[in-house]
């Protein structure tokens, strides 16, 4: 095991922020993870599990132990006429998993193509895109308790998935390192192509009978045309979650803003796109020093180069405050602020 001291994290976060970890260790197996968790020199330190770094905002140096997860591997556990159960190491790259399943002709996660990051963070966030969330194909996961080092399996209902939420972001926050995820994928896929421009692009491709590959290609095309590439412009995707508000509050707002976009949400709530609220509050494309809200995607905060995590965080607070003032709606970060 290699313990690095004062290790730079710039290459490990898609905002491209300068920060260091007091201790940094990469783990390739569950045994190595257990060894790190039990290590005398590293005991008692604050710990942070790092995946692909595509959903974090580093506001300072991390005065503790960063554990970089590189636990790989894939295993076909079982299959029947309709489904396969695939167990995947949490350090696998998410998009590579999607490509693998597409090559096998298995359906379920094609709408989640090109989402950055690793498999382990996917259930933590319940990642979603183009009308599909991870929970739809999720079967179970294994996670190591960071205090006892015991491995525990979590069934779907124990994960309490919600919109970009799971138990690992709430009551069990910071307590477990997810080491593998098992997916139940479809051998006879049905497609979800009603969201966004997917159908139009498939029509352009003259794909009258969609395939998992064609849907994935369409999603990739849309994403590449709309989202800034972190390799070119540092960002962490959508910075805020779309707020869900009571119907009465929505109807009152609609009186003033008849064009306010909206979608039904669970429990009779109404989902309002945070990007629209931010744009209406005057932030879209606005640059503040080396950071700002992206010109095409108001919801994406960017690092134009040389921004600090504190500056991006301050921008997020200012945006949050002005949306609150204008609409009386609290928008909360989707990104994990560290
Ligand atoms: C350009 C861009 C587009 C994006 N588009 C989408 C999108 O369409 N939909 C979407 O849902 N998200 C999107 N995201 C956000 C991001 O890609 C996802 O949230 C992704 O799942 C984060 O994975 P990661 O490995 O990079 O996690 P990290 O950023 O490394 O970590 C995120 C959080 O998960 C924790 N974590 C990571 N791995 C583990 C583990 N093994 N066990 C326990 N905790 C862990 C970390 O401690 C941290 O709190 C986008 C990001 C970018 C930059």
Fold classification of 74-226 is: 3.30.465
**pLDDT for 66 beyond 80:** yes
DSSP output for 165-219: B-TTTTTTTTTEEEEEEEEEEESS------STTHHHHHHHTT-SS--HHHHHHHH
* Binding site membership of 121 for ligand 1 (Cβ less than 6 Å): yes
Burial class, 171, CB count within 10 angstroms (exposed 0-12 / middle 13-18 / buried 19+) = exposed
- Give 87-123 pLDDT, tens digit per residue: 999 999 999 999 999 999 999 999 999 999 999 999 9
- Give 166-189 pLDDT, tens digit per residue: 999 999 999 999 999 999 999 999
Q: What element of type H or E holds 320? A: helix 309-327
Pocket test for ligand 1, best of 58, 96, 121 (most atoms within 8 A of CB): 121
Torsion, Cα of 223, 227, 231, 233 (10° steps): 170
Q: Which residues pair with 86 in a beta bridge?
A: 76, 183
- Give 278-304 pLDDT, tens digit per residue: 999 999 999 999 999 999 999 999 999
CATH code for residues 4-69: 3.30.43.10
* Binding site membership of 128 for ligand 1 (Cβ less than 6 Å): yes
SS3 of residue 300 by DSSP: strand
* Binding site membership of 236 for ligand 1 (Cβ less than 6 Å): yes
Please give the distance, rounded to the nearest whole angstrom, from the Cα atom of residue 251 to the centre of ligand 1.
34
Which residues touch 14 (CB under 8 Å, ≥6 apart)?
52, 53, 54, 116, 230, 234, 235, 236
Residue 209 pLDDT = 85
SS3 of residue 12 by DSSP: helix
What is the reported pTM?
0.95
The domains of the chain are located at 4-69, 74-226, 234-337
Residue 159 pLDDT = 98
Cα-Cα-Cα-Cα dihedral sign, residues 270, 273, 276, 280: positive
State the chain's mean pLDDT as an integer.
96
Residue 205 pLDDT = 84
Please give the distance, rounded to the nearest whole angstrom, from the Cα atom of residue 258 to the centre of ligand 1.
35
The CA distance from 40 to 191, in Å, is 51
Residue 144 pLDDT = 98
* Binding site membership of 178 for ligand 1 (Cβ less than 6 Å): yes
Residue 128 pLDDT = 96
**pLDDT for 206 beyond 90:** no
Residue with CA closest to ligand 1 atom 23:
117
Percent of the chain whose pLDDT exceeds 70? 100
Q: How confident is the model at residue 196 (pLDDT cuts 50, 70, 90)?
A: confident
Fold classification of 234-337 is: 3.90.78
* Binding site membership of 293 for ligand 1 (Cβ less than 6 Å): no
The CA distance from 42 to 312, in Å, is 30
Residue 37 pLDDT = 96
């Amino acid at each position: 095991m290699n313990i690095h001291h004062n290790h730079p994290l710039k290459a490990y976060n898609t905002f491209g922020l300068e920060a260091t970890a007091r201790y940094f260790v990469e783990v390739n197996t569950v045994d190595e993870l257990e060894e790190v968790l039990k290590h005398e020199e590293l005991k008692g330190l604050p710990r942070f599990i790092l995946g692909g770094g595509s959903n974090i905002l580093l506001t300072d140096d991390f005065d503790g132990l960063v554990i970089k997860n590189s636990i790989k591997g894939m295993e076909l556990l079982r299959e029947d006429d309709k489904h396969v159960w695939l167990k995947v190491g949490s350090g696998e790259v998410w998009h590579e998993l999607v490509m693998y399943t597409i090559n096998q002709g298995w359906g379920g996660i094609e709408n989640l193509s090109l989402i950055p990051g690793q498999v382990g963070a996917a259930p933590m966030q319940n990642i979603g895109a183009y009308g599909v969330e991870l929970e739809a194909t999720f079967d179970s996961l294994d996670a190591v308790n960071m205090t006892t080092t015991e491995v525990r399996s979590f069934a779907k209902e124990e994960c309490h998935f919600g919109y970009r939420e799971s138990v690992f972001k709430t009551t069990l926050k910071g307590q477990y390192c997810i080491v593998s995820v098992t997916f139940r994928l479809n051998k006879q896929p049905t497609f979800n192509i009603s969201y966004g421009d997917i159908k139009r692009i498939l029509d352009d491709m003259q794909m009258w009978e969609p395939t998992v590959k064609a849907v994935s290609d369409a999603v990739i095309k849309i994403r590449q045309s709309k989202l800034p590439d972190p390799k070119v412009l540092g960002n962490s995707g959508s910075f805020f979650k779309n707020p869900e508000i009571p119907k009465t509050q929505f109807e009152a707002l609609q009186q003033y803003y008849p064009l306010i976009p909206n979608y039904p949400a669970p429990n009779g709530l109404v989902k309002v796109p945070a990007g629209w609220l931010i744009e209406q509050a005057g932030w879209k494309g606005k640059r503040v020093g080396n950071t700002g809200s992206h010109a095409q995607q108001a919801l994406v905060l960017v690092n134009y180069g040389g921004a600090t995590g504190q500056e991006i965080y301050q921008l997020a607070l200012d945006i949050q405050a002005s949306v609150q003032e204008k609409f009386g709606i609290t928008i909360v970060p989707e990104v994990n602020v560290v």
